Every structure is written in C-alpha cells, then in structure tokens.
Structure 1
Amino acid sequence: MPEERAPRSRRLLPIRVAVAGATLLAAASLVAPTAHAAPADDVRINEVVTTGAVDDSIELYNKGAATVDLSGWVLKDDDASHTFTVPAGTTLAPGAARAFTVASAFGLGSGDKARLYLPGGSTLVDSFAWSAHSAPSWSRCPDGTGAFGKAALTLGAPNDCGSGGGTNPVAWPGGGSVATADATDVFGGDLSGLYQEGSVLWAAQNSGRLWRLVRDGSGGWRPDTANGWSTGKTLRYPGGSGSPDSEAVTLTGAGAAGGAYVATERNGDASGTSRLSVLRYEVAAGTGGSLTATKEWNLTAGLPAVGANLGFEAITWIPDGTLVAAGFKDQSTGTAYDPGRYGAHTGGVFLLGVEGTGAVHAYVLQDGGGATRVATIASGTAGVMELQWEPQAARLWAVCDDTCGGVHRTLKIDATGAFAPVASYQRPSGMPDLNNEGFAPAGADECVGGSKPVYWADDGNTGGHALRRGTISC
C-alpha cells in the first residue's frame, strides 16, 4: 500500500473499525440442512474479539456429537437490554465454529461479558467475562472445553492454542540468510505483490504499475527490456481511465497467456474511496507503455467496509480440480464446491486478502462479469499483505508485514472442507523486520538438495533495494 499507511502501533488499539457486513465464517461452520436435537450445553462461547481488528464478534462452538439448531438463540454483553438474536435457519455442526458480528447490536468493552441464551433470552447457556480488551482474541484452548486466554484471531477456524499455529511462530523452514535480489534503486518505494511464473517474476506496484522481471544472471531479477516493460507498464481501468492502486498480482492455470489478475483497493484518482476490485490485463503481447484492463470485478458492495487504504492487499488463484479433490466446502451453498454451477470462469477460485481485517475472501470470477463469494477465511493475523498458493505442498501462504513482525502463516483444507491454519513461521533470521508486502516461493522445478528460492518485495525500498531472496525447504 502507498505512503498513507496508518501508524503500525495503532493497528490493534481498541477502536471500533467500521467493518460492515455479516459474520466471518470459515467453511468449517457449514453443515447439512437438517439440525438434530442436542443438549444446549454442547454449544459454548469459544472466541471473543473486542479490539477492532474486525467488528466486535462472538464465536460459538459445538463440542457435541449432533448438529444444533441455533435459530433464535440470543447473545448479550453485560447489559441485559443489549441483545443480538441469531437468524432463523442457523445451524452448527459437531466440531464446528461460527462467528457472529454483534457490533450492530452492542459493543464489547475492555471490561465486559459475552453471554449466550436459549431462544427468549432468559435461559443462560454459557458466559465469559474479561477485564481487558482481546489482544487480538480471547480464545478457549482447546476449542469448546478449555480456559480462555489471549490468542491470535481465528474466527470461524480452530483456535490458536500455541502449537506453532500462530501465537508462537516457529523458526523459518529454510535458510536464515537473506540477500538483495535487485540492483540499487530500480523500483523506488511501493513495490508490493509478487508472482513467479518460471523464468518471469511479475510484480505489482501501488502507483498503478505492473512489472515483468527476468533473471539477472546472479540469482536476482531485473526489468524486462523488451516490449515496453523496461520501466513497468502503467495500469488503467476498463476504458482507459483512472490509476488503480495495484497491490497484488497472480496468474491462472493458463499462465500469462490467460492474462494477469491484479488486486486493487482504490482508484488513485479518488484515493479516499474504497474500490475493492480485481482487474484483468492482457500481458502476453503488445509493446506500449500502458495496459487497459479488459475486465473489472468490483467486489466492494458485497464485502465488509474498510478504510480506503486498508483493502485488498493480496491475491492468489487455486485450480478447481485441487479444491474439489480436497473436499473444499462452498459457503454460498453449504455443500461441496461444484465448479459446474458457476458456468464459464477461470477454472479456479481467487483468494483475496484484506489488510484491514486479516480476512481472506474466496471468489469465483465469472467470464461474464459476475462474482460469487464461496468462502471467507480467518487468516489468524491482524492483516494479510500477500497470499500464495504453493501447489507442491498444497498449502496457502498468508503473509503479514512488519505489522506482525513478518509472520508467515500456512493454511490447508481440513477434513471439514475449510481452510484452517496449520503452521506459523518467523521471518528468516537474516531478514530485518521490513515492510514486506510481497512473497513468492519458486516452483518445484527449482528444488535442489531439498531447498528452493523464495523472494520478498519490500514496500519501503530499504537501503535502495525492494527485492530480497532466501530459501525454503521443498
């Protein structure tokens, strides 16, 4: 993101961020349509978020063996007149978690309670009281049965109980050494998302510019000097207007021939207004110095509101076949993901990371211009600055910059069909705590002796260098 970055020290202050929209749900919370009778005490308050990292939220967890119908159940804070009623038709499967945004009904303070009642609001089922704001989450460990403690934000996903999944990151799974991977002052500031396509490294720059980089012969990258790429290409919205705040880039299974997809959070010509869009560009041919988007999917209206400079910061793409084989659940239907129901699209699903909330939203972007959100995933970090799907390990990387000390988190599709955190890693020991907004592991073809290269983009261009390289275990 560009220079208007909010002070890092304020990211988790107890301010109510205006994140509109409904519940953050992981696919784990989706269930079959029929709920069976189950003891009320099988449902427990499992996580509470009060800091403004997302809207004030209360997560419920079913520790029992049968699906529970939550229709009409009531959530309250410490004031009996403050009530949130669970919508009709809401069910909770065994072992599933579901988070409810209660900010529209009441706020959760630094000394407050979360209380759960049966329909009618008079029979108390469970409660949790605290004397300080979550940092960023109050979570039960283990889920549904343990005591509450401070943990990473994992709404809709398994709680982070300190096993390496987030609150206690383990050592980087590769070499500790890090070296620069570009010449001095090639890009300046604001270099952001990366995507490696074999011998080409694509890079998005916040100033509305896309770079095609080629190998420099010494382990790094330089701008391609052919076909107008030597200083990057200026990006425009469809019709040739505007200046997209380009934060991230990815390709589909068709590679560059299928177009580059760029995630943007606003139009630089109207920088005070959110415009959460994905733009497609033809990048395989042409010699001009600018690119006009062939299509825009403007997703702003269907997502929780965020600040104009806190929107889409990351994008990656996962093939339909991979998702189907893993049993990925479609939250829009509550059933297994079926690509056929969406007609012509890119042959996969795009995942988009939001800086201001740490949420990851999964979309099918249809060729005709339609878009369907098929999942919302809790990354467990305060913000997501880069996403990369790594086919070799079948894992999703969610990267946070110096907001989180350079934590890299991985997620996989679990037995319920949801993306769930499985590991969290410290930045390499040789990497300073930089504003790394781009991250790209090399492909499996570059594995040598069990290790392969990985690259980072530093938005701050520290020391005149925006690209750095390290290694990661294959």
Structure 2
Amino acid sequence: MSTSSSRSRLASTGAAGLALSGLVLTGLVVARPAVAADAAGYQNIRINEVTSSNSDTVELYNTGSTAVSISGWKMSDDSFSAQSFSPSSSTIPAGGFVTFNSPKGLGDSDKLVIHTSGGTVVDRVDWATDKAKPAMARCGGDGTGTWVTTTATTTFGAANATGCPASVPASSGVRINEVTSSGADTVELFNGGTSAVNIGSWKYVDGDTGHSPATVSSSSPSATTVPAGGYVTFDSTIGLGDNDSVFLLDGNGNTVDSVTWATDGAKPSYARCANGTGAFRTATAATLGGTNSCSGTGDGGTGGGTGGGGTGGGTGHLLGGGGSLTSGCTPEAPSGTGSTPSGTSAWPGGLDVTIADNVCAFTTSTGPEGRDVSGLAFAPADPSVLWAAKNKNWLYKLVKSNGKWIPDASWSAKGKQIRFAGGSGEPDSEGVTVGGNGHIYVTSERDNTKNSVPKDTIMEFDPAATGTTLAPVHQWDMTSQFPQLDTGSKDDANLGFEGVGYVPDSWLTANGWTDPLTGAAYNPANYPLHGSGLFFAGLEWDGTLHVYGLNSNGTFTTFGTVATGKPSVMDVTYDAGTQRIVATCDNTCGETHTFLKVNSAGAIVPDVTYTNPAVMPTDNLEGFAIAPTSTCVNGEREAVWSDDGIYGFGSGSSSYGHALYSGTFPC
C-alpha cells in the first residue's frame, strides 16, 4: 500500500487551475466561501402557506419550542437558483409566523424550496396547476397538517383556518412516520385514514436539490398501496444523510408530507410521537413496520411537506448505509496530508457523495485488514463494469447492485490474484486501465515479497482468462529508469508507478501532439507493434507521467515525461467526455484532479485542477474514475473514488471501513 508518509522528498507546489479551453462543463460550480453553521432548530421551520397569485406570498411557521434565526436564508422554485428574500422578521419565535413576498413569480404549477444561509434545504412544497390559488395551506395543524388548496381567504401571518377545506382527500391520512439514515436508509409511511390509499405513482426525494424524485413503487421493497391503519416501508434509492430531508409527492406532483432532520437526527431512527400524528424525535431504536416506541430524544422536529429540484446553492451530504464493521477489518488513518495547489477550482459536479461499497468488502488472504484499494477504471465498451486494483496483488471486476459496486460473482466473487510473469511474486498492484484491445493493464511498484526493491512494471491481463489466479499476457519492466527509487529503502521503493491510463492514438493525433522522439507530429505508424494507443504511468515520487508504447513482442518505447505540476500522482485516466488526461492526487496535494490537454505547441500541459467535493474525507484517496458519457443522465455521469485506507471520517462514522465513494461529474 502506498501511504503518504514516505513522500518527504516531494515538492509542495502544484499546477494552477486554468479554464478548460474550448469546453463547456454543465453545472460548473465555482469555489464557495466558507458558510456559517445552520441556525439551531432550523429543521423546525416549515412552509405553512403559499399563494401563486397576486403577491406570491409565502408563510413560514416555527413548530419548535425556541426562536430560530432565518437571517441570510434563501428560496428557489423550479426555474431559478436560490435567491435572498426579505421576511417580515429575521427571527421566528416559537409557535410564530413570518411572511415574505417571493423575489420571483411563482407559477401555476411550481415548487418552493427554502434554504438556510449555509445552503441546507429546510422545507419544500410542490403544487400542480392552480393548486396554489387562492393558496396552498397546511390544514389540521400549522406546520404539521395536510397540504390542501384552501377554499377560504388566505390567512398569512396567522393560524390556518381549521376548515380549509371542510373535506380533505383520502391521501391526507398518509404520513411519513419514521425514517432512518443509517443501514438501508429506510422510510416508513403510515395511513391514519379509514380507507386504503393507492401510492403506485407517488414519488419521494431527499434534500439534495440536484436529485430527481424516485417512485415509491420502484424502490425496494416495492409498494403500491397503504392499507387503512397500516404501514409501508421502502429503502431510499437516492440515499439519506445527515442534515437531510424526505419529501413525499402524490401522483400529480403535489406535496403530501415531509420531514427534515439535523446531524445524526435520523440515527438510529427519526419517528413521530405519537405514532402517525405527532412531532418527530430521535428514537433509541427503529420500529419500522410497527407502532413507534416514542422513547428517545425530543428535538421539536416536525413533519410537513417538501422536496428537492434545481441546481446549486446546497451543501453536500456524505450518505451512509454500510452497516457495522466486521472482525478483522482494520482501517488505516490517512498520513502525509499536504496543501491544495493554488488556483484550484471547486468540484464541478454534484455536491453529494454516496458510500458505494459494502463494509469491509475487500478483505483477502494477502490483505485481511480489508484496505489497500487503489486504481479504478471504467470499461469504455461496457460502463456497467468498474475495474479495481488492490495493492497486494488483487484485481476486481465490479458491477452495480442496489446502488453499490460489488465483485462480479460470475468473474470472481472475491477478486482474482495476479502474479508477475512466470507466476512468481506478489505485485504491489496500484494502477489499472483498460487498453484498446479490452485487456486490463496493471502497474506495480515492487514485489511485496521483497518490498525494499522497486519493480516498476506494467502487466497485461486477459479478463476472459479462467481461474482465480491471473498470469500476464505481457509484462514490461521499466525499473532501471528510476534509480532514485532503488536505495534499499522500502519507502523509496514504494514511490514508483502508482497509476496508469490508456490514451488512444486518435486523441493524440487529433490534438496535434508532438512526438518527443522525432520532434514532429506523432505518427502511430512509426511504431507498428504498439497497438492503438499509448500508456501514461504516474510516478508517485515526483508527480510526473511517463509515456510508453507497449509493444506486442514484450519491448517498449519510451516517449519521455509529462509534468503535471503536482508533487505526486496516485491515479491516471483518459476521459473522452472532456477530452483530457486526468492526473489524480490524494491528500498529499489536497485531494485534487488535474486535467491535461495538448497545447498549441503540441505539448501535453495542465489545463485545470479540481478539488474533490467538500463533503468527502481527507484520506489517502488513491483511485479515481469517471464513467463514459454514454451513461449520462440529466447532464451528469458517475465519478468514483477509492480510499486506500478505508478510514472515512474515522471510527464510529458511517464511512469507516468503506473503500468506494460515488458522486457525479458533468457530461
């Protein structure tokens, strides 16, 4: 495993982030200033009444027992980003009201989302055509009642009329009754009405304004009807985190109910007391599918009605759901943390990140502690497959199951061991990439059975080969090029090839790359045995990329080096979506990714550097991969990181013992 502690020789400077010339990255997020912590009791503020006619007025209500400051809060609808509003008061007293006029018009079919000054979603209400005329209001209890279209005059600044209207739809009896943000992220619905309610077309969404609502019926277990006096439970497919929400929408898009909680409020469970009608409180135990026990800590939190949509303005959540640690899985705390390079830009994708593997999923006979997952690479021809290299001579073919990346049981449920040519040794496997021939190429820094001696190699494996141990089809040894690593020190030997990326010839020629060996435009025909692309190996020692043509006869051509501007490199990938080579560095250089281009002089140079999403831990995150653009949905595609030490945020956190994280990157 390559920890950062042995990088004392590395420089502390990095490449300045530059604009991606000629590219448009949708959903680009600029660097954000630090924001204040959310006001105490923010989750107790509920949208209570709203009208989409004339003044476009909004009323907020405080269901809690203490006053809450809403200074700096913002609002958005379904077509504009969060904007400031001017409330009648900057503080809402316990049991009190505040009103304001929307800074933008509210439409006939629209939504209203309230955000704290830090960007956390507080509450939301959605309505279909004309449902907010004369107003949408909570009926049956301010802040907690059912959302209906009022038939009487509006009551802004005062309690909603008790008869608004006299009869409410049967769906009003369905309430979010309990939710847990640990384990499977489960939601429980309770029907307090006298007749069954069909929820086959109903949807739910969390507090991430970048998430689209998911149907209840498509979740697991699938549910289409809530019986009178009965329960339905389902696991959220979009994850639930700390400082989060659940918003329940009917088949017409109207809000039915909602709940918002603060940090750890839904662990182990957040439940209504009394069952089906009362305010939410943190419970001491989950009672999913049954009457709430109502033993726990009351914090005044309430249910209401909200949801999420739109982009920008929110803080990210690291969503858990991994279960408890198993015996023998021993994470390793991060080491070698360095500064972020100047000029680095904020992560351009979504702010939320999800834990993407099962806890302690990568324990092996040579790595029983479960850590050491390093390089990652999507298969370009089959983006449903993610390849992962584990340092102590293991290769994994991963596929998605219930939102997580798990070993493909049809290939090997526990991964396959890899060997050097001749079947010897334990490659310190670090980087992985998929070549133009569909074969898997893995880098090694040393032989783990002789870990003080460098062995910087690239090995080619046929993924179709049978058996649980793989021997390389070809192996190329570049060790002699790096005498600075051969000092007799295992730390120096551990600073070799950390990542590798296959770059197609078509990109190099189309962008006018100058062949360092000829001084002219690169002509692949000059190298008839190298295949259809070159391999860029990242050297952890100094952050340089070393370019090779790997010949079918076992020889190789060296095309020189590329400076990344980083003190170190942990993974390398070529991304066809941005048409860039990506050099990744972990906490050694501030958890950053430098995108490189071919400049007008024909040289490969840094173009822009991004940090990780702010919600992610500062760990030895050594692997990084971006899904092909063929997987794009709503302008985004998946990005995956690997934690070499499976430390997460440390002991007791939901991320402890997990190796993989999943987020989004623009298409």
Tell me the TM-score normalised to structure 2 length.
Answer: 0.46
Aligned ranges 1:51-200 → 2 under 5 Å? 166-187=341-362, 188-197=370-379, 198-200=383-385
Q: Which amino acid aligns with 1:469?
A: S
Task: Tell me how far apart the structure 1 counterparts of residues 618 and 2 of structure 2 sit (CA, whole Å).
Answer: 18
Structure 1 residue 12, shift from structure 2 partner: 4.2
User: What residue is the counterpart of 1:404 in the other structure?
Assistant: 589
Answer with 385-394 or 327-336: which moved more. Answer: 327-336
Task: Tell me how far apart the structure 2 counterparts of residues 199 and 254 of structure 1 sit (CA, whole Å).
Answer: 18
Structure 1 residue 253, shift from structure 2 partner: 2.1
Structure 1 residue 274, shift from structure 2 partner: 0.9
Task: Tell me how far apart the structure 1 counterparts of residues 11 and 584 of structure 2 sit (CA, whole Å).
Answer: 21
User: What residue is the counterpart of 1:294 in the other structure?
Assistant: 473
Q: Which amino acid aligns with 1:473?
A: P
Q: Which amino acid aligns with 2:373?
A: L
Question: 1:421 and 1:304, CA in 2 relative to 1: closer, same or farther beyond 3 A?
Answer: farther
Question: 1:12 and 1:301, CA in 2 relative to 1: closer, same or farther beyond 3 A?
Answer: closer
Task: Tell me how far apart the structure 1 counterparts of residues 531 and 371 of structure 2 sit (CA, whole Å).
Answer: 32
Task: Tell me how far apart the structure 1 counterparts of residues 410 and 543 of structure 2 sit (CA, whole Å).
Answer: 38
Once superposed, what is the RMSD of the aligned Cα atoms? 1.7
Q: Which amino acid aligns with 2:552?
A: D
User: What residue is the counterpart of 1:388 in the other structure?
Assistant: 573
Tell me the TM-score normalised to structure 1 length.
Answer: 0.64
For residue 493 of structure 2, the aligned residue among 300, 308, 311 is: 308
Count of aligned pairs? 316
Secondary structure at 1:321 match in 2: helix
Whether the 8 Å CA contact 2:376–2:624 is kept in 1: the answer is yes
Whether the 8 Å CA contact 1:2–1:207 is kept in 2: the answer is no
Q: Which amino acid aligns with 1:402?
A: N
Structure 1 residue 448, shift from structure 2 partner: 1.3
Structure 1 residue 350, shift from structure 2 partner: 0.3
Whether the 8 Å CA contact 1:319–1:348 is kept in 2: the answer is yes
User: What residue is the counterpart of 2:142 in the other structure?
Assistant: none
Structure 1 residue 375, shift from structure 2 partner: 3.1
The CA deviation string for residues 376-411 of structure 1, in whole angstroms up to 9 with x for no partner, is: 100111100011100121111111001111011111
Q: Which amino acid aligns with 2:657?
A: G
Whether the 8 Å CA contact 2:10–2:542 is kept in 1: the answer is no
Whether the 8 Å CA contact 2:11–2:542 is kept in 1: the answer is no
Structure 1 residue 224, shift from structure 2 partner: 1.1
User: What residue is the counterpart of 2:418 in the other structure?
Assistant: 235
Whether the 8 Å CA contact 2:11–2:567 is kept in 1: the answer is no
Task: Tell me how far apart the structure 2 counterparts of residues 2 and 405 of structure 1 sit (CA, whole Å).
Answer: 16
Q: Which amino acid aligns with 2:440?
A: A
User: What residue is the counterpart of 1:268 in the other structure?
Assistant: 448
Secondary structure at 2:569 match in 1: coil
Task: Tell me how far apart the structure 1 counterparts of residues 390 and 607 of structure 2 sit (CA, whole Å).
Answer: 30
Structure 1 residue 304, shift from structure 2 partner: 5.5
The CA deviation string for residues 12-58 of structure 1, in whole angstroms up to 9 with x for no partner, is: 479xxxxxxxxxxxxxxxxxxxxxxxxxxxxxxxxxxxxxxxxxxxx
Task: Tell me how far apart the structure 2 counterparts of residues 395 and 359 of structure 1 sit (CA, whole Å).
Answer: 16
For residue 642 of structure 2, the aligned residue among 449, 452, 457 is: 457
Question: 1:248 and 1:448, CA in 2 relative to 1: closer, same or farther beyond 3 A?
Answer: same
Structure 1 residue 11, shift from structure 2 partner: 4.9
Task: Tell me how far apart the structure 2 counterparts of residues 426 and 260 of structure 1 sit (CA, whole Å).
Answer: 28
The CA deviation string for residues 329-366 of structure 1, in whole angstroms up to 9 with x for no partner, is: 11122221111111222210000000111000111111
Question: 1:329 and 1:13, CA in 2 relative to 1: closer, same or farther beyond 3 A?
Answer: closer
Structure 1 residue 302, shift from structure 2 partner: 2.8
The CA deviation string for residues 80-128 of structure 1, in whole angstroms up to 9 with x for no partner, is: xxxxxxxxxxxxxxxxxxxxxxxxxxxxxxxxxxxxxxxxxxxxxxxxx
Task: Tell me how far apart the structure 1 counterparts of residues 625 and 645 of structure 2 sit (CA, whole Å).
Answer: 17
Q: Which amino acid aligns with 2:393?
A: G
Unaligned runs of 5+ in 2: 13-339, 363-369, 486-491, 648-655
Structure 1 residue 297, shift from structure 2 partner: 0.4
Question: 1:270 and 1:7, CA in 2 relative to 1: closer, same or farther beyond 3 A?
Answer: closer
Task: Tell me how far apart the structure 1 counterparts of residues 519 and 483 of structure 2 sit (CA, whole Å).
Answer: 21
Structure 1 residue 290, shift from structure 2 partner: 0.6
After TM superposition, where is structure 1 displaced by more than 3 Å over at least 4 residues in a row? Answer: 10-14
Whether the 8 Å CA contact 1:252–1:346 is kept in 2: the answer is no
Question: 1:447 and 1:239, CA in 2 relative to 1: closer, same or farther beyond 3 A?
Answer: same
Task: Percent identity, please.
Answer: 41
The CA deviation string for residues 145-187 of structure 1, in whole angstroms up to 9 with x for no partner, is: xxxxxxxxxxxxxxxxxxxx95221110111111100011101
User: What residue is the counterpart of 1:6 in the other structure?
Assistant: 5
Whether the 8 Å CA contact 2:396–2:416 is kept in 1: the answer is yes
User: What residue is the counterpart of 2:433 in the other structure?
Assistant: 250
Q: Which amino acid aligns with 2:372?
A: D
Whether the 8 Å CA contact 1:246–1:263 is kept in 2: the answer is yes
Question: 1:390 and 1:13, CA in 2 relative to 1: closer, same or farther beyond 3 A?
Answer: closer
User: What residue is the counterpart of 1:429 in the other structure?
Assistant: 614
Task: Tell me how far apart the structure 2 counterparts of residues 351 and 363 of structure 1 sit (CA, whole Å).
Answer: 7
User: What residue is the counterpart of 1:322 in the other structure?
Assistant: 507
Q: Which amino acid aligns with 2:400?
A: R
Whether the 8 Å CA contact 1:440–1:456 is kept in 2: the answer is yes
Structure 1 residue 413, shift from structure 2 partner: 0.8
Question: 1:303 and 1:331, CA in 2 relative to 1: closer, same or farther beyond 3 A?
Answer: farther
Q: Which amino acid aligns with 2:352?
A: S
Whether the 8 Å CA contact 1:316–1:389 is kept in 2: the answer is yes
Whether the 8 Å CA contact 1:330–1:375 is kept in 2: the answer is no
Verify: 1:226 aligned to 2:410, yes or no: yes
Aligned ranges 1:343-354 → 2 under 5 Å? 343-354=528-539
Whether the 8 Å CA contact 2:621–2:641 is kept in 1: the answer is yes
Task: Tell me how far apart the structure 1 counterparts of residues 573 and 597 of structure 2 sit (CA, whole Å).
Answer: 12
Q: Which amino acid aligns with 2:378?
A: Q
Q: Which amino acid aligns with 1:272?
A: S
Task: Tell me how far apart the structure 1 counterparts of residues 495 and 541 of structure 2 sit (CA, whole Å).
Answer: 5
Whether the 8 Å CA contact 1:166–1:423 is kept in 2: the answer is no
For residue 605 of structure 2, the aligned residue among 406, 415, 420 is: 420
Secondary structure at 2:350 match in 1: coil
Q: Which amino acid aligns with 2:375?
A: G
Task: Tell me how far apart the structure 1 counterparts of residues 576 and 448 of structure 2 sit (CA, whole Å).
Answer: 34
